[in-house]
Structure 1
């Protein structure tokens, strides 16, 4: 889900379906080998995202890792 930058910090644990004192949520998505339109094979790809929450459950930091691309960090202040 993409959120407007000015509202991003307002969405916390509950919005993501988490309950209780969750500090960090780590997610990983793996896409299997697939074929491109030209018939060439696209290898398996993994994407990782880690979200950190403050004591009140608001998002503080989101880190994303994508293969063959720079990692990026978003801090909500």
Structure 2
């Protein structure tokens, strides 16, 4: 997944993190962290463009953000 904006902000366009679950911001379907290895099941009729694996997408977004921060630190910006 390539991010055109801040990866965390991009993730929150589709998902909300609430305690130990993620929620689709459009259909309000939820997935517990214990089901993170399963594909997310949206509620009927949802047109969200979110990733089918929101927990993995969040981990990728966090990794990308950390890498951006390291680069910024390293470049002295």
TM-score higher than 0.5: no
Structure of larger gyration radius? 1
Which is strand-richer, 1 or 2? 1
